[in-house]
Structure 1
Amino acid sequence: MKKRILGFWEIWNMSFGFLGIQFGFALQGGFMSRIFQTLGADKHDIPLLWIAAPLTGLLVQPIIGYMSDRTWSPKWGRRRPYFLVGAILSSIALFFVPYSPALWIAAGFLWILDASINVSMEPFRALVADKLDESQRTYGFVMQTLIIGIGTWVASNLPWLVSEMGVSDAADLGVVPDSVKIAFAIGAFVFLISILYTVFTTTEYPPEDMEEFEREKAKKNRFISDITNNIGNMPSTMKKLGVIQFFSWFAFFTMWSMANPALTEHVYNTPAPIEANFDMTNSADQEAFKIENTAFQKASNSVGSAMGVYGLSSMAFALLFVFYTSKKNVNRKYVHMLSLIIGGAGFLLMMVVSPEQLKYCFMLIGIAWGSILSMPYAMLSSSVDPKKMGMFMGIFNMFIVIPQIIAALGGINFVSGLLGDDAINAMTIAGLSLIIAGLCNFLITEKAAISYQPTE
C-alpha cells in the first residue's frame, strides 16, 4: 500500500512520546549507578546490578512486538495501547525508585522500570515503519532521534538543576538525596504526559487485509514457532547489522553502568565514600563521611549534566538530518560508520580531559548515539516484511540486549581489567568497542539498506 506522505507536525506528533521514554532512559542511565553506589554497591558489582535492563529487553520486546502485530482496535489502533500501559507502569516505577531503602529493592525497581519502558518503546519503532512511506523512513527515525536528544539532555540535567534551585545534595548514609528524588518525580510526570500526547494526536492504518489479519490472529500457540522461524530466516542485512549493534551497545551499556564511578573517580577525584572506612559511631567520622558523600553527590550531578550533552549533540545531529533527509537521501552506511568512530574517540579522550572539558567528550559520543538511534532502524526497515515489522523490530532487539547481558555478566570487568583496576579503563573499552562497530559497517553491501531505492 502506498502511504500518504506525512508533514513535519504529523511525524512530530507520532514521535513525541519518545520524549517521555527518553526521560525514563536518561534518568535510569545517568543516575541508577549513583543510586546503587549511594546504597553501598562496590563499583565492580555495578554492571551485574544492571543485568535487569538487557534481560527485560530480551524478554519483553519480542513478545510486545509479536502482540502488537496481532492487535487492532478501531479506537486505539495497533501500537498505542502498549504505549499507554507502558507509560503508566514506567511513571510509577520512576517515582519510587529513588526511595529504595536497600540495594536489592533498587535493583528490583530497575527490573520493573526497564520492563515497563520496553513495553512502550518497541511499538514506537514499529509505528514509524507502519505510518511512513519508505521514502520517509530515514526522516522518521531521525525525527525520533531529535526528540530523544531533547529528552536525554533535559533529563540528564534535572538533578543538577534541582540542586541549583536550592534542593539539598546532602543525605544520610544509604539515603538518596532529595535532588535526585525530585528529578525522578519530574521524569515520571513527563513520561506519562508525552505518551498521552502521542496517543491522542496520532491515528494508525488498519491492516490492509482485515480478513487475513483476523485469520492470523485466530491461530493459537504460534508465538515460539513464529519467533524461532523468523530468527532462522532473518534477512542477511539484519545479521550484519547485528554485528554492528553488538559492539555499539556493549559500548553504551558500559557508559551507562560505569560512567558515574569512572568519571567521579578519575576526572573529579571524588569517588563514592566507602562505609567501612568510617566509624559511624564517631561524630568526627560522621562529619567526614557527610563531606565526602556530598562532594560525591555534587560530582555525580556534574557527570550527569556532562552526560546530557550527548543528548544535545545527538539532537543537533538529528536536526541536521531531519532537514536533509526530508529532501534527499543519505548513504546510511557511511554516515553510521563515521558517527560511531567519532563517538569512540570521545570515550578515549576521557582518560586525559579535565572536568571542564568532559562535556566535549560527550558531544562526540552524542554523534554516535544519534546515528545508533536512527541509521540501523532505517536500514533494517528497508529489508524486512512490513507485515512482520513489530516482530522483526523485537527480534532485532536481541542484538541490543545480548551484548549488554555479556557486559553485565562480567564482560566489562574482564576486558577493562586487562588494562588495570581503575574504573576509567571501562570508558577506554567503550571507545574501542565503538570504533570496531564503525568499521563493521563495511559488511553492509545491500543497496536498499544503504540508501532508499525508489521504484520506477
Structure 2
Amino acid sequence: MERVTGRPRQSLAGLWNISFGFFGIQVAFGLQNANISRIFQSLGSDVDTLALLWIAGPITGLIVQPLIGHFSDRTWGRFGRRRPYFLAGAALAALALIAMPHAPVLLVAASLLWILDGSINISMEPFRAFVGDMVGPTQRTLGYAFQTAFIGAGAVLGSIAPFAITALGASNVAPAGVIPDAVRYSFYLGGVAIFCAVLWTVLTTHEYPPEQMRAFAGEDAPARDAGQGGNALTRIARDIVQMPVEMRRLALVQFFSWSALFVLWVYTTPVVTRYVFASTDTASRAYNDGADWVGILFSVYNGVAALAAFLLPGLVRRIGMGRTHMACLLAGAAGFAAMLVIRDPVLLILPMIAIGVAWASILTIPYAMLAGVLPHGTLGVYMGIFNVFIVLPQLFIATVMGSLIHNVFPEEPIWTIAIAGALMALSALAMLRVGEPQAEATGIVIDANLAL
C-alpha cells in the first residue's frame, strides 16, 4: 500500500494499461502536427495564413478542456469517471481522421481540424487526471513518464507514417488541390490506432469510486466543492481564482514553451521544404519529399522524448525537478537555434534530438509537479485549466505570426524558428520563479523495482 495515500502500487503492466490510450491519441496528434500544414498548402493556403487556419484547435481546447475536466471530476457511473470521455472522444477523432484527407477545399479542411482537435481534447484531458487518480505520490513521476513514453511512441508512428507508406509503394505526389495517397492512408491508420488504443485502456483498467478516492486522500467529507452552488462555468471561474500559486508560476513556463512548440508544428514544413529542399510548389516531388522528411524529423524528436522520459526521474533525484526542467528547456532552445543554420536534411536530426529532450520534460515534469499541489476532487478541472495555458499561446501565435511574416519577415519563414528558440529560452528563465517541490509531493522517489 502507498505510504501516503493508501493507493495500491501499480505494477508495470498496470502503468502500461493506464497510459496506453495515449499511444493512439498521439498517433492522431503526430499525423496532425506533421501533415496539417501540408494539407492546407496542398489545398491552396499560403504561408502567411497557415497559423490562422490552425486556430481552430486552440479555440476548441480553450473551451473543451476545462469543461471536460470539470465534468469528469463529477462523473461516476457504470463505466467509471474518466473512461467514458476517453472512448467518446476517440470515436469522434477516428471519424475526423478518416475524413480529413478527403477535404475538397480549405474551409472543409479547417472545419475537420476543428472537429479533430476537439475530439482529441475530449479524450486527452481526462488522461492527465487519470494518472493522478490511479497512482500514489511515490509513483507519480514514473506514471507520467509512462504517459510521455506512449506520447513519444505514438507520435513517432503518426509522424513517420506517410514516409513509410510511400516506401511501401503509395504515391506521395498528387495534382494541385489533391492530397497524396500516402497521406490519405496514414490518416486511415491513425483513425484505427486512436480508437483501438483508447479501447485497450478502457477495457483493462478499473477506476476507484468516489468514496475510495476520498479515503485515499484521508477525507471523510465529500470533495471540496460538493454542495456549493453555481453552474459549471461559475465553478470553473472560481477554481481559476483559487488556483495554487505554484500552478500560476508553472502556467507562465507553459505559455512560453508551448508557444515555441506551436511554431514548430505550423512552420517546420514550409521552412524545411523551402530552405532545405528548395521548393514551394506543393505538386512537385521536391516539396513532397521535404514534407515527408518533416515527418521523419518529428518522429526523431518524439522518439527521443519516449526514451528520455525514463531518464528524467534519475536526473530529478540528482538535481531537482526545477533545475531538470530548466536544463531540458535550454536544450530545446539550442535545438531551434541550430535549425537556423543547418541546410542538410540529415543534420537536421541533431536539433530534433535536443527538442526531443525538451519535449520529454514538458510532457512530464510540469504535470508531476502540479499533481502534488492540487486539492482533492479538483484534479480533472485543474488539469483542464492548466492546459488552457497551452492553448492561449497557440492562439497568440495563430493571430500574430502570419502578420509578422507578412509585414516584418516577408517571404522568409525561417525567422519563425528564431522566434521559437527565443520563446523556449524564456520558458527556461521563467522556471527561476518556480520553487523546488518536496520530493514526496511530486513522486520523485521511485521504487527501485520500477525505476527503468
TM over 0.5: yes
Map of 1:247 onto structure 2: 256
429, 441, 444: which is aligned to 2:431?
441
Letter matched to residue 80 of structure 2: G
Letter matched to residue 184 of structure 1: F
Q: Give the 5 Å matches for 1:3-22.
A: 3-22=7-26
Letter matched to residue 38 of structure 1: S
1:421 Cα shift?
3.9
Matched, 1:296 2:287: yes
Map of 1:360 onto structure 2: 350
Letter matched to residue 106 of structure 1: A
- Whole-angstrom distance in 2 between the partners of 1:212 and 1:71: 18
1:200 Cα shift?
0.4
1:99 Cα shift?
0.7
Matched, 1:25 2:29: yes
84, 87, 90: which is aligned to 1:84?
87
Q: Give SS of 2:310's match.
A: helix
- Show CA shifts across 1:138-195 (max 9, x none): 1111110011111111211100000011101221220000000001101111111100
1:201 Cα shift?
0.5
Q: Give SS of 1:41's match.
A: coil
205, 211, 223: which is aligned to 2:208?
205
What percent identity do the matched residue pairs reach?
A: 40
Query: Is the CA contact 1:314–1:369 (under 8 Å) kept in the aligned structure 2?
Result: yes
Map of 1:338 onto structure 2: 327
363, 382, 393: which is aligned to 2:372?
382
Map of 2:386 onto structure 1: 396
Q: Give the 5 Å matches for 1:61-72.
A: 61-72=65-76
Query: Is the CA contact 1:80–1:199 (under 8 Å) kept in the aligned structure 2?
Result: yes
Map of 2:280 onto structure 1: 271
Query: Is the CA contact 1:237–1:446 (under 8 Å) kept in the aligned structure 2?
Result: no
Matched, 1:228 2:237: yes
Letter matched to residue 71 of structure 1: T
- Show CA shifts across 1:180-223 (max 9, x none): 00011011111111000000001111112599659977777521
Query: Is the CA contact 2:271–2:414 (under 8 Å) kept in the aligned structure 1?
Result: yes
- Whole-angstrom distance in 2 between the partners of 1:355 and 1:329: 36
1:411 Cα shift?
3.9
- Whole-angstrom distance in 1 between the partners of 2:412 and 2:436: 42
Q: Give SS of 1:152's match.
A: helix
1:109 Cα shift?
0.2
1:2 Cα shift?
1.8
- Whole-angstrom distance in 1 between the partners of 2:13 and 2:130: 15
Map of 1:284 onto structure 2: none
Q: Give SS of 1:447's match.
A: coil
1:413 Cα shift?
4.1
Letter matched to residue 235 of structure 1: P
Instruction: Indicate the RMSD between aligned Cα atoms, in angstroms.
Output: 2.2
299, 315, 320: which is aligned to 2:311?
320
- Whole-angstrom distance in 2 between the partners of 1:99 and 1:453: 46
Map of 1:139 onto structure 2: 142
164, 171, 174: which is aligned to 1:171?
174
Letter matched to residue 243 of structure 1: L
Q: Give the 5 Å matches for 1:144-155.
A: 144-155=147-158
Letter matched to residue 298 of structure 2: M
In structure 1, the gaps of 5 or more residues are 274-289
Letter matched to residue 300 of structure 2: V
Letter matched to residue 43 of structure 1: V
1:448 Cα shift?
3.2
From the superposition, tell whether residues 198 and 442 of structure 1 become closer, same or farther in structure 2 (CA, over 3 Å): same
Map of 2:105 onto structure 1: 102
Query: Is the CA contact 1:250–1:430 (under 8 Å) kept in the aligned structure 2?
Result: yes
- Whole-angstrom distance in 1 between the partners of 2:334 and 2:319: 23
Aligned residues: 433
- Show CA shifts across 1:409-437 (max 9, x none): 11464289645641111111111111110
Matched, 1:431 2:421: yes
TM-score normalised to structure 1 length: 0.90
In structure 2, the gaps of 5 or more residues are 446-452
TM-score normalised to structure 2 length: 0.91
309, 313, 316: which is aligned to 2:300?
309
Structure 1 residues 342-351 or 114-123, which shifts more?
A: 342-351
Map of 1:128 onto structure 2: 131
1:447 Cα shift?
2.9
Query: Is the CA contact 2:27–2:194 (under 8 Å) kept in the aligned structure 1?
Result: yes
- Whole-angstrom distance in 1 between the partners of 2:224 and 2:307: 45
1:33 Cα shift?
0.2
Matched, 1:159 2:148: no
Matched, 1:47 2:58: no
Map of 1:406 onto structure 2: 396
Query: Is the CA contact 2:369–2:437 (under 8 Å) kept in the aligned structure 1?
Result: no
- Whole-angstrom distance in 2 between the partners of 1:109 and 1:395: 24
- Whole-angstrom distance in 2 between the partners of 1:201 and 1:361: 38
Matched, 1:118 2:121: yes
